Amino acid sequence: MKIAIIGAGPAGLTATYELSKGIESGKIDQLDLYEISSQVGGLSKSIDLWDQTVDLGPHRFFSHDRRINELWLEVVEGEYDIVNRQTRIYYKKKFYDYPLKATNALKNLGIFEAILSISSYFLQKIFPVKNTDTFESWVTSRFGKRLYKHFFKAYSEKLWGIKCDQLDSDFASQRIKKLSLFEAVKNSLLNSKRNTHKTLVDEFAYPLKGTGFVYERMASLIKEKGGNIHLSKGIEKVITSGRKVKGIEFTSGDYQEYDHVISSMPISTLVNRLPETPYDIKELANKLKFRNTILVYLKINKTELFSDQWLYIHSTDLKTGRITNFRNWVPQLYGNDEHSIVCMEYWYNFEDKEWEMSDEEQIETAKREFSNTGLLKDGEIIDGKVIRLPRCYPVYYKNYKKQLKPIETYLNSIENLQAIGRYGSYKYNNQDHSIFMGILAAENILKSEKHNLWEINTDYEAYQEETIITKTGLAKTD
């Protein structure tokens, strides 16, 4: 059996890592992972910058699923620490605790606005929004119009580039469905640290050498088991005949036969380049939208800037949407260096003029905005670096599922082809979601399972006994 995996992000690497165990058992004769860039890790890679290690923005790993956690610990082999999470919202030059704390929110909003916001919340409970199929209506129905405008609208429109009344409610239901105003106020008043929203954890596991260490280590283990990793290798298309996988054609024009292909390339690219794809499916695939990211790293001659790992920037006078401070993760990232590295995130479409700005212009914009936040204090920005990440967020525009569903059905009809990952399945995955997809894709081949990967969404519940990763290893949750 010959297997090819396209894309060395978390999903593709996990699938390859799990499949590499089949080489030892004799079930797999050839296992090849192809990555178009020169480094594994995808959006979760780490890079060396100014004698420090940084990630592509903030990446924290957290899961309740035993299988995911066991695999992560198996790969990392104790080279991690537990980070106490602090993330806040920066809005109108004030910092709001996230998740919300009543005393902090009341103080920052002021009594008058706090009363109006709470009144808006209760008014929504009396006269609820009837149709909640958009992000705006979904959030408004649960928090009221004023809190929606304060804490959800600006950030979401920066991220997605469309108005919230054109954004599908899936984004809200998957990401904030368990975030409750009532619970937030109760927890704050009772000084409770028990958080009912699973993504807003108080602490998380983090590799000592950066998030990318997990995937660099996976790559090493794959090679040890006999798998092959081909970097800087472009894939032109997956070759099929009679809706069955036959092999892969490379951008060089070469061809290689395979029995199975697992793809994490952008789903629209995959569909358009399959030789048998009907015209109407290609048309639907071309309507799927991805959002681009520009990361601007700033080197600052100061070690004390702000205490958060990252900040959500809700202020409309700033284009940046998120600011990461790599000084606040683990000391192994910066060692003895006396500088801080912060990362400013900007989100654009290909047609936006900002996407075409030069690196120098991007750096100057980031310098100006970071200074305007007041976070620089008496520090000085002494260098900058720009990284561009095209198509890194699948956009959940209104009714996108109606276009995605026929594509899923068509891809399901192709024997021995699986699409996984954030790009490949058009799902806004975290690391754990992509790792889970990789595990199940490997099981579909090695164990002849029938997992429907399209059903694995970002709001999945743990299939087995719930666990968390602690400093000493795996522990059961209460």
Mean pLDDT of 459-478: 72
Closest by Cα among 475, 478, 7, 464 to 205: 475
How far apart are alpha carbons 386 and 296 in whole angstroms?
5
Identify whether residues 223 and 281 lie together within a single domain.
yes
Mean pLDDT of 136-145: 91
How far apart are alpha carbons 154 and 175 in whole angstroms?
16
In a domain, 111, yes or no: yes
- Find out whether 71 and 10 touch, Cβ atoms under 8 Å: no
Identify whether residues 69 and 107 lie together within a single domain.
no
Identify whether residues 117 and 68 lie together within a single domain.
no
> Left, alpha or beta for 465 (phi > 0: left; psi -120 to 50: alpha)?
beta
How far apart are alpha carbons 424 and 155 in whole angstroms?
25
- Find out whether 309 and 60 touch, Cβ atoms under 8 Å: yes
Question: Per the structure, how many domains does the chain have?
Answer: 2
Mean pLDDT of 27-33: 96
Q: Which domain holds residue 266?
A: 2-79+206-288+397-464
172 band by pLDDT with thresholds 50, 70 and 90: confident
In a domain, 309, yes or no: no
Mean pLDDT of 309-324: 95
For residue range 79-106, what is the model confidence (pLDDT) as tens digits? 999 999 999 999 989 999 887 777 787 7
466 band by pLDDT with thresholds 50, 70 and 90: confident
Identify whether residues 171 and 234 lie together within a single domain.
no
Identify whether residues 284 and 412 lie together within a single domain.
yes
What is the predicted pLDDT for the residue at 151?
Answer: 86
Identify whether residues 129 and 164 lie together within a single domain.
yes
In a domain, 363, yes or no: no
pTM metric for this prediction:
0.92
Identify whether residues 27 and 170 lie together within a single domain.
no
3-state secondary structure the chain: CEEEEECCCHHHHHHHHHHHHHHHHCCCCEEEEECCCCCCCHHHCEEEECCEEEECCCCCECCCEHHHHHHHHHHHCCCEEEEECCEEEEECCEEEEECCCHHHHHHHHCHHHHHHHHHHHHHHHHCCCCCCCEHHHHHHHHHCHHHHHHHHHHHHHHHHCCCHHHEECHHHHHHCCCCCHHHHHHHHHCCCCCCCCCCCCCEEEEECCCCHHHHHHHHHHHHHCCCEEECCCCEEEEEECCCEEEEEEECCCCEEECCEEEECCCHHHHHHHCCCCCHHHHHHHHHCCEEEEEEEEEEECCCCCCCCCEEEECCCCCCCCEEEEHHHCCHHHCCCCCCEEEEEEEEECCCCHHHHCCHHHHHHHHHHHHHHHCCCCCCCEEEEEEEEEEEEEECCECCHHHHHHHHHHHHHCCECEEECHHHHHCCCCCHHHHHHHHHHHHHHHHCCCCCCHHHCCCCCCCCCCEEEEECCEEEECC
Residue type, 95: F
Identify whether residues 36 and 66 lie together within a single domain.
yes
Identify whether residues 283 and 407 lie together within a single domain.
yes
What is the predicted pLDDT for the residue at 154?
Answer: 93
Identify whether residues 219 and 148 lie together within a single domain.
no
Mean pLDDT of 2-13: 97
How far apart are alpha carbons 268 and 285 in whole angstroms?
5
Identify whether residues 283 and 406 lie together within a single domain.
yes
Mean pLDDT of 343-363: 97
Query: How does the average pLDDT of the chain come out, rounded?
Result: 91
For residue range 286-302, what is the model confidence (pLDDT) as tens digits? 999 999 999 999 999 99
In a domain, 315, yes or no: no
In a domain, 140, yes or no: yes
What is the predicted pLDDT for the residue at 296?
Answer: 98
* Integer angstrom CA distances of residue 321 from 161, 287, 347, 422: 11, 25, 8, 20
- Find out whether 416 and 262 touch, Cβ atoms under 8 Å: no
How far apart are alpha carbons 7 and 71 in whole angstroms?
19
- Find out whether 41 and 231 touch, Cβ atoms under 8 Å: no
Q: Among residues 175, 198, 218, which one ends one of the domains?
A: 175
Identify whether residues 70 and 107 lie together within a single domain.
no
In a domain, 243, yes or no: yes
CATH number at residue 444: 3.50.50.60
In a domain, 365, yes or no: no
How far apart are alpha carbons 314 and 320 in whole angstroms?
9
For residue range 232-251, what is the model confidence (pLDDT) as tens digits? 999 999 999 999 999 999 99
In a domain, 61, yes or no: yes
Closest by Cα among 416, 391, 410 to 245: 416
